[in-house]
Amino acid sequence: MTWTLLALPVALFVFGVPVFAVLLAGATVTLLLFMPMPAMVLPQIMFGGVDKFALLAVPFFIFAGELMGRGGIADRLVDWVLSLTGHVRGSLGMATVGTATLMGAVSGSSPATVAATGRTLYPKLIEKGYGKRFSLGLIASSGSIAIVVPPSIAMILYGASGEQSIPRLFQAGLLPGLLIAALMMGYILIWAARTHAAPQQGFRFKLFLRATKRAWAALLMPALILIGIYAGWFSPTEAGGVACLYAMLVALFVYRTLNLRGIIEAAAEAAYLTAQILVIVAAAGVFSYILTVNGIPQGLVGAIVEMDLTPVSFLIAINILLLLLGCVLDPTSAILVLTPILMPVIAHLGIDPIHFGIIMTVNLSIGMFTPPFGLNIFVAQSVISSDLGAIYRGILPFLAVQIAALAIITYVPAVSLALSWIW
């Protein structure tokens, strides 16, 4: 049975078979050859895997992100952040990180953030002398913050598969996301001082007021979503619906950048992306069921007990594992496959599941821009039309910065849990 659950999926993945098909193949062969169950169980488990109320937030937030991009909301957010930059070296680079963080607080999508910031800010970065390699690395890496700050689709999936509170996960992701952004900005300041990068035009209150006037409706969106969730006005799932409705109304009646046809096109693209995610959810549900029924998670816990690993040594090992997996697996697949397996382990070791959810999310966010297969890399290449070699070289210093942030988040639990202690 080991070859059907491990060797077969690995072999299929190496040959480029889609993730959902890899998971389904391993589970189906195991079920038919080694388990006394009717084949009818397979579709029942698949439907059960997606029959979770929390997963309704996924299509909502994806649709909201599409509406933002097509409706000009994202561009106005970028312009507003740029209006805040002062007359210091590196201010435009810091504005790029700030824009990515703000975009993430609205859409929860890393690829959407890379696309929006790359399209708008890359020409400005080149114009101000930041260099092609540095600019590409900055845009591809800063987009990863989008899945750490709330609302995060990755955290919704972790909460659903690990049966954890999604509002608490959102709460726990705020300070780690800001920490990553702050460390990246610090590196940009040091780099700009060493390379004498040209500063932005000094802050002008008139320009700031003009940008705020253009972006006020866009700026209200993250405030409405986050305040609504934490104040108890609506659940994270309902917040996704509110985000869609708000983005639609703003694009139609405030900015007047979308018509009915544009909304339908955004809905079609969101449906396509949602289907890609949920088919993986369904397949991962089957694979997790097969693993659980055959005692794999229990065996893993037993093996760790025998190894007598401490929480510290376990977290070192899991960080290395997740960083490696993040290079080749998208966050959706990794979270849905690994969470059911690892939950019994962290429970045995006494690791807070909310803290562990943030550790997993940050690891996989780094994987989004880690060579060779990080998705943000290919999004940046598509948007900017650059060669992969320049992106790979530009990413390396930002990779080191975010791994340093990961170490702090991993071994200082207060960074993730402080807000829940206060509230």
CA dihedral of residues 25, 27, 29, 34 (deg, nearest 10): 170
Distance CA 166, CA 320 (A): 25
Read off the amino acid at residue 30: T
The sign of the CA dihedral 24, 28, 31, 33 is: negative
Distance CA 288, CA 49 (A): 10
Say which residues have a Cβ less than 8 Å from residue 357's Cβ, sequence separation at least 6.
Answer: 155, 158, 159, 162, 164, 169, 172
Angle at 353 between CA 351 and CA 359, to 5 degrees: 85
CB-based contact 224:242 (threshold 8 Å): yes
Q: What is the CA 346 to chain-centroid distance, rounded?
A: 22
Say which residues have a Cβ less than 8 Å from residue 28's Cβ, sequence separation at least 6.
Answer: 42, 286
Q: How far is CA 295 from CA 29, 299, 333, in A?
A: 17, 6, 21
pLDDT tens track, the chain, 423 positions: 655 766 787 787 777 777 778 878 888 888 877 777 777 778 888 887 777 766 777 788 778 878 877 887 777 877 787 777 656 677 788 888 988 887 777 766 777 778 777 777 788 788 778 888 999 999 989 988 988 988 788 888 899 888 898 888 988 999 999 999 999 999 998 888 887 665 556 667 777 888 888 888 888 887 888 788 777 788 777 887 888 898 899 889 888 888 889 999 989 988 887 787 778 778 877 877 777 777 765 666 567 667 777 888 889 888 888 887 777 666 777 888 788 888 888 888 889 999 999 999 999 899 888 876 677 887 787 777 777 788 888 999 999 999 999 999 999 999 999 887 666
Distance CA 407, CA 401 (A): 10
φ/ψ bin of 169: left (φ > 0), alpha (ψ from -120 to 50), beta (otherwise): alpha
Residue of 262, 218, 260 lying closest to 70 (CA atoms): 262
Q: How far is CA 347 from CA 17, 290, 303, 340, 343, in A?
A: 33, 21, 14, 12, 6
Distance CA 219, CA 228 (A): 15
Distance CA 409, CA 53 (A): 29
pLDDT score at 37: 74
Residue of 182, 192, 180, 122 lying closest to 146 (CA atoms): 180
Distance CA 316, CA 313 (A): 5
Domain ranges of the chain: 6-422
CB-based contact 345:338 (threshold 8 Å): no
pLDDT score at 41: 79
pLDDT score at 298: 60
Neighbours of 208 (CB within 10 A): 14
pTM of the full predicted structure? 0.75
